[in-house]
Amino acid sequence: MDAVIDFWTFIEKTNAAKTADELFNQYTCTLGKLGFDLVLMSLMTDHLSIGKPKGHGIIRNYDESWMKYYTEKGYASIDPVRKQVMLTTHPFLWSQLNAQDTYTKKQDIMMNEAQDAGLKCGIGLGIHKNNREIAGFGVASSDGTAEINQNIVSLVKALTNQFHMAYTNIERKHGSSLPPEIANITNIESDILHYLSVGKSKGVISDIMGLNPNTLDYHLRNLYQKLGVNDKAYAVCVGARYGLINP
């Protein structure tokens, strides 16, 4: 991969975005450096936290002729990518979804047509919040040359987590003031968040803070609950957004 992505700069720029369009531009430009020039976000469930109903492709730069065709064919009801997004928070490759040869004939046709429409090297990702809101993302390469490896997939997940967090803050009706749950983070939880942000493992954090693994897990669960997240990467993004950690 020739492109160098400064993730902290991405956090700063996306946190500073004033509109969803400005934010999406930052997101797509950064993904474009990785070879993924096509991006789509769907709200898989109603998002009461930002006053938006569920909808497919509410933000996207996919080809509009494909979007129209997709809608006319009713593909949302059979799309294996959408189905997988609802099941997992782990990023996945579209090409691996049919590893067990489980596609129906219609699904096989749909995925082949998506390839023909320029949706290649696809990565899917679902973001599941504790309030049961789920957002789904698809990123793809129109020329099929995007490099895909574990590091790239992890970076796409981190970028997407940050984008989603910044997007929900922009769209939230009452602005992005510090929520009460986050304001009540304890000193121990704050220290744990700091160590997560600098890449420390749970084992190392236990040693540094003198906590046994069960106690650390207890504080982690409380921290994730307050931040409204379910993994380390998203916790760091939310923490950076609200000034709980510093670069």
User: Maximum Cα–Cα distance for the chain, whole Å?
Assistant: 59
d(CA 195, CA 124): 28
Asked if residue 1 belongs to a domain, the reply is no
79 and 62 inside one domain? yes
Asked if residue 192 belongs to a domain, the reply is yes
pLDDT at 246: 65
pLDDT at 213: 93
68 and 118 inside one domain? yes
Range of the domain at 55: 7-171
pLDDT at 247: 55
39 and 155 inside one domain? yes
Tell which of 171, 191, 212 closes a domain. 171
pLDDT at 83: 96
Beta strands in 63-147 (DSSP E): 92-93, 120-128, 134-141
Tell which of 121, 143, 171 closes a domain. 171
Rg of the chain in Å (alpha carbons): 19
Strand partners, 136: 42, 126
Asked if residue 203 belongs to a domain, the reply is yes
pLDDT at 180: 63
Residue segments in the chain with a per-residue pLDDT below the cut of 70 = 1-3, 173-181, 183, 246-247
pLDDT at 24: 97
192 and 97 inside one domain? no
Q: Give how many domains the chain has, as a whole number.
A: 2
CATH of residue 134's domain is 3.30.450.80
Asked if residue 246 belongs to a domain, the reply is no
119 and 163 inside one domain? yes
89 and 17 inside one domain? yes
Q: Is 103 exposed, middle or buried (0-12, 13-18, 19+ CB in 10 A)?
A: middle
pLDDT at 1: 47
Angle formed by the axes of helices 187-197 and 232-241, nearest 10°: 110
Asked if residue 137 belongs to a domain, the reply is yes
Q: Are 44 and 134 in contact (CB under 8 A)?
A: yes
185 and 223 inside one domain? yes
193 and 159 inside one domain? no
Asked if residue 2 belongs to a domain, the reply is no
80-102 confidence digits (pLDDT tens): 999 999 999 999 999 999 998 99
pLDDT at 47: 84
